[in-house]
Amino acid sequence: MKLMPNFHFAGNCLEAIDLYKKVFDAKVICLYKETESSKVYHAELMIGNTKVLMTDADKVLNSNHPLSLLISFD
């Protein structure tokens, strides 16, 4: 079983990805952006041995829930 944090940003996910790359030496595994804007639809980074997911939040999410945890089973 693996836990993966999924961070939700309010339109500044690309900035956060750049920061995580500098601060944590994170490696970008994948990055999908919306075609009409620069919002991130889905991104996966590796920080050490931990996969971190990131996205720009949609209308359903709000600032009270900037993080969710995903559980992956083998």
Domain boundaries, the chain: 2-72
Compare 1 and 24 and report the one with higher pLDDT.
24
Cα dihedral angle (6, 22, 50, 29), rounded to 10 degrees? Answer: 80
Does 51 have pLDDT greater than 80? Answer: yes
pTM greater than 0.75: yes
Fold classification of 2-72 is: 3.30.720
- Kindly indicate the confidence band of residue 63, based on its pLDDT and cuts at 50, 70 and 90: low
- Region 33-53 average pLDDT: 93
pLDDT for 57 equals 78
- Kindly indicate the confidence band of residue 10, based on its pLDDT and cuts at 50, 70 and 90: confident
Among candidates 16, 11, 66, 70, which has minimal Cα distance to 45? 16
